[in-house]
Amino acid sequence: MNSNEVETSTKRRDKLKIIAQILENAQEPTLKTQIMYRANLSFEQLNEYLEFMIRLDLLEKLTARRKDMYRATQKGLDFAFRYDEITQLLRSKESSNRMRVPPESLLKRKT
């Protein structure tokens, strides 16, 4: 990973993370505005994600009391669970790599 990738990943969320956040917030039927605020998205971004996720069968749109609500499907819940597993795995791998001392050849300055 180069320095640009590291810098970008710390400042911006990737699309998979946003999808996982939406699914986490929509485990129970949830209003669009609640998802928007909890996932920190603009209205336009939210609409794009919702349409995309419905097409992929990660979310379903429900109507209750004349209000549109969104809920994660079983496929969406599976995605969120697996996403969480992968991020935990990467975090544990990252922390174990930090604990290892790099080889001496990498620590020496080239003159």
Q: Where are the alpha helices (DSSP H) in the chain?
A: 3-11, 15-25, 32-38, 43-55, 74-99, 104-107
Q: Is position 77 within any domain? A: yes
Per-residue DSSP letter, 58: S
What is the number of domains present in the chain? 1
> Is 2 among the domain residues?
no
Q: Is residue 98 part of a domain?
A: no
Residue 34's domain comprises 12-90
Q: Tokens in use for 19?
A: 């999808």
Asked if residue 110 is part of any domain, the answer here is: no
**CATH number, residue 26:** 1.10.10.10
> Which residues, given as ranges, of the chain have pLDDT below 70?
1-11, 93-111
pTM over 0.75: no
Rounded Cα distance, 65 and 54, in Å: 21
